[in-house]
Amino acid sequence: MTTLEERATRSASDVLSWSRSLVDPALRAAVSKLPASMRQIAGYHFGWLDQQGLATPGGEGKALRPALVMACAEAVGGHAEDALPAAVAVELVHNFSLVHDDVMDADITRRHRPTAWSVFGVNQAILSGDTLLALAFEAVGGNGPAVRTLSAAIRSLADGQSADLSFEQRSDVNLTEALLMAQRKTGALLSCSCVLGGLYGGGSAEQIAHLSDFGARLGVAFQVVDDLLGIWGDPRLTGKPVYSDLRNRKKTLPVVAALMSASPAAEELATLYHADHPLSRTDLVRAAELVDTAGGRQWCLTQIDEQMSAALRHLRDAGLTEQGATALDRLTQLATRRDF
């Protein structure tokens, strides 16, 4: 096992690998408690099993949230291993949300292979997601503050997802609403991850408050990056089809910023977005061009920089260990400097 000092000299990818080496066995142990039918679907979603239930290598996500939990625990002077239950819990909640999101968005690809619902059916996927959520609370059971923190984050996440879905039916979504949706849908769970790390690491109330704000800001930046990837991301990196968000006519942040620009490009984009026919490949290419021309991409790049600057200020003000702050800074850079 590497020491904290050794980890401080390594890359963000190394920090993620270190976190995963601790979290993965505990996560698999948690999922192994599920009934066989749900265990197969969850194992498939996590990338551990193929469609027939046979073990398969690879396929996991980045596991950023558990890495934040464990890095925050160490950043306040605690031990990462003590925060393992919380790290498992946030990863279970995150994957519960992904399984359900794929159903709601009718996405057929995640992590370079068919989504769980497209393989096992909508109803079975929903039930599997529900069981992951139950396991998350079991993981932190007995720790009242952790349970309350996790519960509040899930309520916020659901509210954000509800807003995201409602935006698809509206033509008057503004940037204030879109940013609030990002704060709830993504920022809440990243903030929760940091708070739980601070709690399990024995951090002070002031440190935990700064970590909460750090995670919330990081979450918004992370969502902005995801929204850019939903239009311009390389499918080989994202694991999703190109233009997936445009095809679903989602009111993501770059789209809302573009639509609010009151430009000719915004008018043409609105006409395309609200057409009563499926968007062709030509339509999707043109829509991406219009979002860029109307300033949607540039607005997002500016927003990422602003959110990152605010997040890193909270890190500086939190009184963290030097090694812990460095690890969190590197995770921040990794989360927000993906290709799009």
Instruction: Choose among 90, 329, 77, 68: nearest CA to 203.
Output: 77
Q: Is pLDDT of 289 > 90?
A: yes
d(CA 40, CA 139): 20
DSSP label of 109: E
Res. 336: pLDDT tops 60: yes
Q: What is the pLDDT of residue 248?
A: 85
Terminal-to-terminal C-alpha distance of the chain: 35
pLDDT category at 6 given cuts 50, 70, 90 is low
Could you tell me the sign of the dihedral formed by the alpha carbons of 108, 58, 184, 225, in that order?
A: negative
Average pLDDT, the chain: 93
Q: What is the pTM of this model?
A: 0.93
DSSP three-state, residue 212: helix
Confidence at 61, pLDDT banded by 50, 70, 90: confident
Q: CA 31 to CA 37: how far, in whole Å?
A: 12
Strand partners, 49: 55
Kindly tell me if the per-residue pLDDT of 126 is higher than 90: yes
Rounded mean pLDDT of 49-76? Answer: 90
Indicate the pLDDT class of residue 152, thresholds 50, 70 and 90: very high
Read off the tokens for 41: 């679907």
Delimit the domains of the chain by residue range: 4-335
pLDDT tops 70 at residue 53 = yes
* DSSP code of residue 110: E
Q: How far is CA 211 from CA 32, 155, 219, in A?
A: 32, 20, 12
On whether the CB atoms of residues 110 and 62 are closer than 8 A, the answer is: no
The string of pLDDT tens digits covering residues 30-43 is 999 999 999 999 99
- Structurally, at CATH architecture level, domain 4-335 sits in Orthogonal Bundle (1.10)
